[in-house]
Amino acid sequence: MAKSIKILFLISIPVFLWGLLLILPTFDDWTYLTTPYFGDFFDNKGLLPYKSYWRPFDATIGYILGLNYKMFPALNHILILLGHVGSTILVYLLTKKNILAATFFYLSTAMLGTVLDIDSVNQVYSQFWGLMALWFYQKEKKWLWIVCFLIATFVKENGIMFAFIPIFIQWGHEKKFAITRQYIKDGMMALGAIVCYGIARIILTPHDNVQNAEYMDNSILDHVKDLIQYSTTWIPMDMAAVAYSPTRCLPLAILTLLLAIPFLYAICTKMIQNRKDKMMYVLIISFFLAGAPHLLTLVSVMHSYAGLGMISLLIGYLFPAETLKKKEIIMFSAFITATLISDIHHWHEAYKSGLIGKDLAVKVLEKTTGTPQIVRIISIDNNEPKYSIFNVIPRDAFGWGKAAKYESGYTVANEEVTDTLIGPFETPSAKEIGIKEMTQEILSTNRYEAIWIIDSTDVKVINVKPE
């Protein structure tokens, strides 16, 4: 059985890659560091602490894409899948070659917000290098552990938690609760590395750096919602069949939940049986530690990936391969069936959203005369529903005009492209008046060479030239 699953795993990789390569950029994919960057490498502000993060690897990817913009987003997808596959292998090794744990990690719905995204290379490799740090720590290669968790931190800030998680997990294996001198020594090594990182970050942060307010301006209720989302994303109820009203299908959502319930029951049963086991609690706490930086700021579907490695280790611990029962395999098979249904549905929705952005870009360029370099966009808010990165509002799929820039081969709107959102309007006539007034206001500036009006999936272009 294990051999057959390994063969299926290898076969699935090119299939997954094919599916990912069909997904096109939307929303934040167009604005993050991992989009084509055409400036000088050392002028890239992303190489230094920028806003609320310091991610030089992402900035480097953006520079590489700038050398040949046609590699975007294919290169992003390839890197993300390679990182996810690598992390799956690490989970397999860390759980003593537990196929069930590795399969859970590889297919879990908690990976959807990361693996189906385009600007999430950092989330994948923060996990990969974090798990690598845990691997080296357990092999007592302490300096490699330090190097790996620092790489994970430079990839994305939540990687810093792997300065503590390996020590904590190793302590979990101890029968005693006492903390030995070796753990204290290791903790001091990790703390020293963190201090060096912190000092470097302070020194290298530009004086005019601005923090992202959205990461800090959250209420207690927001944090409670984030905690629930983070804790339950791996449960394979098909949320795409619930959250997005145009394609809502409650029977499908209920089916996936029913398929998952037996294995969820088995997990609860195992946790009750192991209620006196220190290691189980260590892994549960590690799950929350891995996502702590996100839980203290904000959580999106991408961020659920941060704890996926730890919960996969927990699954491997609760269901060791040598004692796995036939009924547990059947329950897990039903759980994975629900997971695959949810995975495929979410992939299809993300695929459709990407096509909307491309279609809008093509329509705009077909109606645009010449190659205007100064463009103003009027986006209409029609109160369209959305669901995370999977069902994106058309104007967001258009990426504030960046989809058209890309589609034109970066020959259009290179000097300036500005987006203005108007609406929502109570009636069609009010919308028409609002568009007309905004258009007249823009034309009165005698500045823009073209005006692109994005109204859901409809496009209108006004070709003008400044006096």
User: How confident is the model at residue 1, as a pLDDT?
Assistant: 63
Q: What are phi and psi of 462, to 5 degrees?
A: -110, 110
Give 215-240 pLDDT, tens digit per residue: 566 788 888 888 999 999 999 999 99
> Does 207 score more than 80 pLDDT?
no
> Does 37 score more than 70 pLDDT?
yes
Give 403-422 pLDDT, tens digit per residue: 999 999 999 999 999 999 99
- What is the mean pLDDT of the segment spanning 198-210? 85
User: How confident is the model at residue 214, as a pLDDT?
Assistant: 59
Tokens standing for 158? 């939540």
CA angle 459, 460, 463 (to 5 degrees): 135
User: How confident is the model at residue 213, as a pLDDT?
Assistant: 58
Looking at 126-140, 173-187, 307-321, which range is the least confident one?
173-187
User: How confident is the model at residue 401, as a pLDDT?
Assistant: 95
> Does 467 score more than 80 pLDDT?
no
User: How confident is the model at residue 91, as a pLDDT?
Assistant: 98
Residue whose structure tokens are 């009203």:
245
Confidence (pTM):
0.94
- Report how far residue 419's alpha carbon sits from residue 379's, in angstroms, rounded to the nearest whole number: 7
> Does 438 score more than 80 pLDDT?
yes
CA angle 225, 226, 228 (to 5 degrees): 65
> Does 210 score more than 70 pLDDT?
no
Average pLDDT of the residues of the chain: 93
User: How confident is the model at residue 206, as a pLDDT?
Assistant: 83
Looking at 40-54, 61-75, 119-133, 240-254, which range is the least confident one?
40-54
Residue whose structure tokens are 């537990």:
98
- Report how far residue 440's alpha carbon sits from residue 170's, in angstroms, rounded to the nearest whole number: 67
> Does 466 score more than 60 pLDDT?
no
- Report how far residue 287's alpha carbon sits from residue 312's, in angstroms, rounded to the nearest whole number: 9
By CB neighbour count within 10 A (0-12 exposed, 13-18 middle, 19+ buried), where does 165 fall?
buried
> Does 336 score more than 90 pLDDT?
yes
pLDDT > 90 fraction of the chain, expressed in percent and rounded = 85
Note the residue count of the chain: 467
Give 279-295 pLDDT, tens digit per residue: 999 999 999 999 999 98
Give 74-112 pLDDT, tens digit per residue: 999 999 999 999 999 999 999 999 999 999 999 999 999
By CB neighbour count within 10 A (0-12 exposed, 13-18 middle, 19+ buried), where does 94 fall?
buried
Give 110-149 pLDDT, tens digit per residue: 999 999 999 999 999 999 999 999 999 999 999 999 999 9
Which run of H or of E encompasses 420? strand 416-422
